[in-house]
Structure 1
Amino acid sequence: MDATQWDERYRASAGGVWATQPPAVVREIAAALAPGAAIDVATGDGRTAVWLAERGWRCTGVDFSEAGLALAAARPGGDAVTWVHADVHEWEPAAPIDLVVSCYLHLADSAAAVARIAEWVAPGGTLLVIGHDVENIAAGGHGPSDPAILYTPELLRGALDDRFRVERCERIVRTSADAELRDGHAAAAIDTLLHAVRVR
């Protein structure tokens, strides 16, 4: 989907597309980190960025959908986030970042996109990426059905160089209790998680 299609989807939604909370594993990992500067890549309607800001992070939410960002800014707590209308292929921060998060960003060049946002991470900082795994198609979970844009642990691990220490890179099962969509979903879904720390 391009920016125009996402704008239409957000405008048609009642208060937002995604669940009000970030994925459980994102909350778990980020909650253990000392707050600093954070970027939520492809923030959508802002759930992860607002959650981080509420916990003391100086957070920037970046997305190419103006309609999504309008919903994000209107969220309770949305005024604590800096919202940026930009394409992940072109935009970059002015300084290295302590935490870069990407939830469900699926592109034709996903590995290159992950490698690009990894460059934004400061030494000692954290990169956290989660998205639909290719096995999610057979499992019947919500999400894209094109395997070319879906993740695998091998794809995400291969996007990093030796400046990063991989803490976790694995398939995880997201249950209906950890909804991705605002109205939930009936079945479990399979995601790929990458949690890495830049060591130099």
Structure 2
Amino acid sequence: MDAAQWDERYRASAGGVWATQPPAVVREIAATLSPGTAIDVATGDGRTALWLAGRGWACTGIDFSSAGLALAAARPGGDAVTWTTADVHDWEPAAPVDLVVSCYLHLPDSAAAVARIADWVAPGGTLVVLGHDVENIAAGGHGPTDPTILYTPELLRGALDERFRIERCERVTRTSADAELRDGHPTAAVDTLLHAVRE
């Protein structure tokens, strides 16, 4: 989907597309970190950026959908985040940050996109990437069904260079209690998680 299609989807939604909380595993990792500067890549309607800002992070949320960002900015706490309409392929932060988070960014060049956002992590900072795994198709979980844009641990591990120490890179199962969509979904989903620290 392109930016115009996502704008349409956000405008048609009743208050937002995604769940109000970030995925549980993202909350679990971020909760262990001292707040600093952060970028939420493909923030959508802002759930992860708002959660981080609420815990003291100076957060920038970027997305190519201006409609999604308008929903995010209108939420409680929305004025605590810097919302930026931008494409991950073109945008650059003014300076590296302490935390870069990307949830469910699926592109034809996903490995290259992950390598690019990894460059935004400051030395000593953390990168967290979570997305639908290719095994999610067979599992019947919610999400894209095009295997060429889905993740595997091998794909995400291979996107990083020697500057990063990988803490976790594995498949994780997300239950319906940790639904991605605002109105929930009944099935479990198989995701790939990458948690890495820049040396």
After TM superposition, list the pairs within 5 Å mapping 1:119-134 onto structure 2.
119-134=119-134
Name the residue aligned to 1:16. 16
| Count, aligned residues | 199
One-letter identity of the residue aligned with 1:90: D
> Secondary structure of 1:26's match?
helix
The code of the aligned residue for 1:53 comes to A
CA–CA separation in structure 2 for the residues paired with 1:150 and 1:98: 26
**Residue number in structure 1 paired with 2:191:** 191
Aligned runs of 1:1-200 on 2, under 5 Å? Answer: 1-199=1-199
Amino acid at match of 1:121: V
Letter in 2 for 1:137: I
Aligned-residue offset at 1:51: 0.1
Q: Deviations over 1:67-97 (max 9, x none)?
A: 0000000111111000000000000101011
Q: What secondary structure does 1:52 align onto?
A: helix
SS in 2 for 1:38: strand
Q: Structure 2 length normalisation: TM-score?
A: 1.00
Instruction: Determine the C-alpha separation between the residues in 1 that align with 2:16 and 2:54.
Output: 19
Q: TM-score, normalised by structure 1?
A: 0.99
Work out the CA distance in 2 between the residues paired with 1:78 and 1:130.
23
Q: Residue 115 of structure 2: SS of its match in structure 1?
A: helix
1:138-157, CA deviations, whole angstroms, 9 ceiling, x for partnerless residues?
00000000000000000000
Q: Determine the C-alpha separation between the residues in 1 that align with 2:74 and 2:156.
A: 33
How far 1:65 moved relative to its partner? Answer: 0.2
Q: Deviations over 1:21-57 (max 9, x none)?
A: 0000000000000000000000000000000000000
Paired with 1:32 and 1:77, the residues of 2 have a C-alpha distance of: 22
Which consecutive residues of structure 2, in runs of 5 or more, have no partner in the other structure? none
Unaligned runs of 5+ in 1: none
Identity %: 86
Q: CA deviation at 1:117?
A: 0.1
Distance (Å, rounded) in 2 between the aligned partners of 1:75 and 1:194: 28
Aligned equivalents of 1:138, 1:173: Cα separation in 2 = 13
- Tell me the CA shift for residue 102 of structure 1: 0.1
Classify the secondary structure of the residue corresponding to 2:83: strand
- Give the CA RMSD over aligned residues: 0.3
SS of alignment partner, residue 148 of structure 2: helix
Distance 1:138 1:110 in 2: 20
